[in-house]
Amino acid sequence: MQLLVVPRVILLVFLSLSTVQSVYSGEEIVYRDTFEVSGANTTHLSRYVSYWLDSSKTADVTKVDKAYQRDLFMHWPLNANLNVGLNPYPLWLHLHVKHTALQKTTYWWSFYNQADTVLVYQKEENGNYVCTDTLSYMLPMARRKTHVRFQAIPLSLDSSENRTILVKVINLRTPQSFVTDFTSPRDNLLWEQKFYWSVGVFAGCFLFALVGSLIAAVVARERILWIYALYVLTVVFLLFSQELLITILPDWMFFLSIRIHPLLVVLVGLSLYGTVVCYVLDVKTRYPRLYRALRRINLSVLGYGLLTTVGYLVFYTYLTVQSKLYVYAFYIHVNLVLVMLGITLGVIVFVGLKGKYIILHIVIGCLVIYFNPASYYLNYEGLINYYQITYPNYFYWILCLEFIVFGGIISWRYRKTRKQNHVLFQEKVQQDKKAYLRELQIQEDERLQIARDLHDDLGATLSAIKLVTTNSYPDDKHLTAMVVKANTDLRHFFSKLTEMNLKEKGFFSSLDERVEELNASGDTVISFISVGDEELIPESIPLPLFRIISELLSNILKHAKASEAIVQLIVETDHIQLLTEDNGIGYDTHSAENKGMGLRNIQDRVARLDGKIHVSSNTSGTTSIIIIPL
C-alpha cells in the first residue's frame, strides 16, 4: 500500500490544481438531469447518470422511482468510473435522455462490467416503469441479443423524444467498478474496431510469448521456462478477463473461464512471478538461505492459489457477495496480493543493497510493482486507482517490454548455466579419464610386481625341476614334456601380465605377436591388418586398446566357434578405427545373458576412452566396430 502513496499524492495534487484552475477560469461543475443527444456522442455520462444502492435488497421499481423523487440518488465524480467496490446491494442507475435530432436514431447505452444481471426499466407515458430488457455477462457473445463483448441496451428514439430509464445492476462476485457510455451503434462499433486492433495486437504478442515459452520449455526441458510460460498464461487470462474478451471464446471455454476468479489467478501469477524474479536475480546462487525461504513462500502461495481456484470452481454457485465469508475471503486475498507485491519489491531492493546498484534496483522494483499484472487487476477492479485506463493502454506496452527483458535475461542466464554445466561436465570427464589412467597404471604396477614375484620364485623353481628331470629322468619323455609345457605356459602368463614392451616393440608389432601366439594355441586362424602411423596414437591409448583387442579375440576363441577371424586397425589423424570380424555362430546382442564380464569390460574401456562401439551379429558371424577419438 505504501508503494502507491506517491502516485496517489501526485494524482491528488493534480486534481486539486485542476479544480483551482476551473474556479479561476469560471468553469462551474454542474450535474444535469437531462442528457441531450443527437447522434454520435463522446460526452462522459458521469454528469447525467445518478445511482442509488438498495440496502434493503427488496425495493421494486416503484420504490426506486420514489427514492429518485426524494433525491436519494447520488452522482459519482465527474469523468471517472462508477466505483462502489464489492457491493452486496442492488445498484440502480437513473438516466433521462432527450433526443434532439430531427430523425429517428438508435443508440446503445453500454456497460463495460461483469454484472451477473442487468434489468432495464423504461418509463411509459402513464408514469409506470416496464422491464424491457434483461442482460447478463454470464452469456457468451454468440448468445446475446446484441453480439458485443459488453452489455448494450438498445434504444430507438424519435425526434425530440424523452426517455427515462432505470437500470438495476447486480454483481454477485466482482467489484462494481465500470465504464458506461451512450452513443450510436456505428460510433460504438468503430471504437470497438480500434479497441480490438490495439488490445488484439497485445493479446497476440502475449500469446506468442506464451507459445514461445512453452516450445522453449519442451525443447530445453528447463523448469524455469515452464514457470515463465505459466506466468505468461496468467497474464493472458487476466487480459481476456478484464477486457471482457472471454465472451468471444467458445462456449465451453467461456463457461469455464467465468468460473475462475481473476483474483485467484493473480495470486498464482504472483507466486510464479516471484520464482522468475529469483531466477533473474540469481538469488539461489548468491543468497541460498533467502532463496529457500522465498521458494517456500512461492510454493505455498502457488498451492493455496490452485487449491482455492479449484474450490471456487466447484462451489461457484454458493460463493457470492451475499455471503460474509466470501467478502472476508475476497479482501484477505487482496491483502495477500499486496503482501506478495511487497515481498517481490523487497527482494529486488535487497539484492540491490548487497550489490553496487541500489538506486537502479529501487527504480526497477518500483516499476515492476507499478506495472505488475496484479496491480493492473487491482486498478481495473477499482480497488486501487493509480492510473486512468485509456486505449491503447500503455500498461500493455510496459508489459511487452517486461516480457522481452525477462525473456532475454532468462535466455541469457539459461545459456550461461548450460555453458557452466558443460564446462563442469568436461572437467568431470577429464577427471574421470585421469582417474581411469591412474587406475590402469596401478593395475600395471600390480601386474609387474606379480610377474616379478612369479619369475623370481615359481620361474626359478620350474627351471630347477626341468634341470632335474632332464638329468635324472632322461627316458621319461612324458614328464619332460609336462615340465616344458608348464614353463611355456608360465612365460605366456608373464607376457599377459606385463606387456610392458609395447613401447619397446611397437604397438603394431606387439599385436602381431599376440595374434601369432593365439594362432599357435587355437583352432581359429586370425589375421591382423594395420593401417596408418602408430606414432599418432597418444601414450594413454595403446595399453587399454591392447586389452580391448585381447578381450575381443579371447571372446572369439572361447565362444564364436569360428574358423577364421580378422582384426583390422586403422589409425587416422583424428581417430582410431578397430574392426574385428569372425565367421562363427554369432549371438543375440540384446540378450542380458550374452553380456558377460568380458563384454562389459570392453564397453567400459571404450567409454572411458570417449569411444563408440557397434556390434552386429547373426548366425553367419559377428562384426564389431570401435571408434576412438584422438
Q: How many CB atoms lie within 10 A of CB 321?
A: 20
Same domain, 164 and 126: yes
For 155-167, letters b (16+ CB in 10 Å) and e give: bebeeeeebbbbb
Question: Is residue 551 over pLDDT 80?
Answer: yes
Question: Is residue 12 over pLDDT 60?
Answer: no
Complete DSSP assignment for 330-343: HHHHHHHHHHHHHH
What range defines the domain where residue 61 resides? 31-183
Kindly indicate the confidence band of residue 11, based on its pLDDT and cuts at 50, 70 and 90.
Answer: very low
pLDDT of residue 92: 96
Prediction pTM value = 0.68
366 vs 382: CA distance, rounded Å? 20
Would you say residue 445 lies in a domain?
A: no
Partnered with residue 155 across adjacent β-strands are: 107
Amino acid at 411: S
pLDDT of residue 462: 67
Q: Are strands 117-123 and 129-135 parallel, antiparallel or unpaired?
A: antiparallel
Express each pLDDT in 132-150 by its tens digit.
Answer: 999 999 999 989 999 999 9
Q: Are strands 564-571 and 525-531 parallel, antiparallel or unpaired?
A: parallel
Amino acid at 362: I
Same domain, 246 and 333: yes
40 vs 188: CA distance, rounded Å? 8
Same domain, 54 and 171: yes
Same domain, 310 and 214: yes
**What residues have CB less than 8 Å from 479, skipping those under 6 apart?**
469, 473
Domain end (from 331, 361, 392): 392
pLDDT of residue 207: 86
Kindly indicate the confidence band of residue 619, based on its pLDDT and cuts at 50, 70 and 90.
Answer: confident
Question: Is residue 373 over pLDDT 70?
Answer: yes
DSSP 8-state assignment for residue 57:
S
Same domain, 320 and 376: yes
Residue 580: name the closest of 533, 607, 609, 548 by CA: 548
**CATH number, position 141:** 2.60.40.2380
Would you say residue 350 lies in a domain?
A: yes
301 vs 336: CA distance, rounded Å? 9
Would you say residue 256 lies in a domain?
A: yes
pLDDT of residue 111: 94
Q: Provide mean pLDDT across the span 341-360.
A: 88
Average predicted confidence (pLDDT) for the chain: 83
Question: Is residue 489 over pLDDT 80?
Answer: no
Q: Provide mean pLDDT across the span 374-403.
A: 79
62 vs 128: CA distance, rounded Å? 8
Of residues 30 and 576, more confidence is placed in 576
Q: Provide mean pLDDT across the span 355-367.
A: 85
Kindly indicate the confidence band of residue 498, based on its pLDDT and cuts at 50, 70 and 90.
Answer: low
Same domain, 130 and 73: yes
Would you say residue 42 lies in a domain?
A: yes
Same domain, 67 and 17: no
Lowest-pLDDT choice from 87-96, 311-320, 605-614:
605-614
pLDDT of residue 524: 82
pLDDT of residue 23: 40
**What residues have CB less than 8 Å from 175, skipping those under 6 apart?**
83, 84, 85, 86, 87, 381, 382, 383
Burial environment of residue 177 by CB neighbours within 10 A (0 to 12, 13 to 18, 19 or more): buried
For 589-625, letters b (16+ CB in 10 Å) and e give: eeeeeeeeeebeebbebbebbebebebebeeebbbbe
Would you say residue 228 lies in a domain?
A: yes
HSE at residue 505, side-chain half, CA atoms within 13 A, is 14
Residue 372: name the closest of 298, 267, 281 by CA: 267
Q: Provide mean pLDDT across the span 480-504.
A: 66
**What residues have CB less than 8 Å from 233, skipping those under 6 apart?**
210
Overall residue count recorded for the chain in this entry: 630
Kindly indicate the confidence band of residue 592, based on its pLDDT and cuts at 50, 70 and 90.
Answer: low
537 vs 532: CA distance, rounded Å? 10
Same domain, 26 and 71: no
Would you say residue 225 lies in a domain?
A: yes
Kindly indicate the confidence band of residue 390, based on its pLDDT and cuts at 50, 70 and 90.
Answer: low
309 vs 261: CA distance, rounded Å? 7
Complete DSSP assignment for 515-568: HHHHHHHSSSEEEEEEES-GGGS-TTSHHHHHHHHHHHHHHIIIII--SEEEEE
Question: Is residue 119 over pLDDT 80?
Answer: yes
Residue 382 Rama label (left phi>0; alpha psi -120 to 50; beta): left
Burial environment of residue 48 by CB neighbours within 10 A (0 to 12, 13 to 18, 19 or more): buried
Q: Provide mean pLDDT across the span 291-299.
A: 94
Same domain, 243 and 384: yes
The helix or strand, by DSSP H or E, that contains position 225, with its residue range, turns out to be helix 223-242
Complete DSSP assignment for 597-614: HHHHHHHHHHHHTT-EEE
Q: How many CB atoms lie within 10 A of CB 549?
A: 21
Domain end (from 371, 392, 413): 392
Express each pLDDT in 63-113 by its tens digit.
Answer: 999 999 999 999 998 888 889 989 999 999 999 999 999 899 999 999 999
201 vs 548: CA distance, rounded Å? 64
SS3 content of the chain, % helix, strand, coil (to 5): 60, 15, 25
Q: How many CB atoms lie within 10 A of CB 269?
A: 27
Would you say residue 494 lies in a domain?
A: no
Of residues 261 and 459, more confidence is placed in 261
Question: Is residue 251 over pLDDT 80?
Answer: yes
Q: Residue 327 has which C-alpha cell?
A: 467478502
**What residues have CB less than 8 Å from 590, skipping those under 6 apart?**
none
Express each pLDDT in 402-433 by its tens digit.
Answer: 888 877 887 787 788 788 888 888 888 778 77
Kindly indicate the confidence band of residue 499, based on its pLDDT and cuts at 50, 70 and 90.
Answer: low
Complete DSSP assignment for 163-193: EEEEEEEE-SSS-EEEEEEEE-HHHHHHHHH
599 vs 617: CA distance, rounded Å? 14
334 vs 328: CA distance, rounded Å? 10
Q: Provide mean pLDDT across the span 264-280.
A: 93
**CA distances (Å), 209 to each of 235, 279, 600, in order?**
11, 18, 48
pLDDT of residue 90: 95
The listed range with the strongest mean pLDDT (102-111, 479-488, 524-533) is 102-111
Kindly indicate the confidence band of residue 530, based on its pLDDT and cuts at 50, 70 and 90.
Answer: confident
Question: Is residue 343 over pLDDT 50?
Answer: yes
610 vs 630: CA distance, rounded Å? 9
> Peptide bond preceding 262: is omega within 30 degrees of 0, i.e. cis?
no
Q: Over pLDDT 70: what percentage of the chain?
A: 85
Would you say residue 468 lies in a domain?
A: no
Same domain, 256 and 297: yes
Question: Is residue 61 over pLDDT 50?
Answer: yes
Express each pLDDT in 224-239 by its tens digit.
Answer: 889 988 998 999 999 8
Same domain, 359 and 265: yes
132 vs 122: CA distance, rounded Å? 7
130 vs 116: CA distance, rounded Å? 20
Q: What's the count of helices (H) and strands (E) in the chain, helices before strands?
A: 18, 15
Instruction: Say how many domains are in the chain.
Output: 4
Q: Over pLDDT 90: what percentage of the chain?
A: 37
**What residues have CB less than 8 Å from 277, skipping those under 6 apart?**
344, 347, 348, 368
Same domain, 20 and 95: no
Domain end (from 121, 156, 183): 183
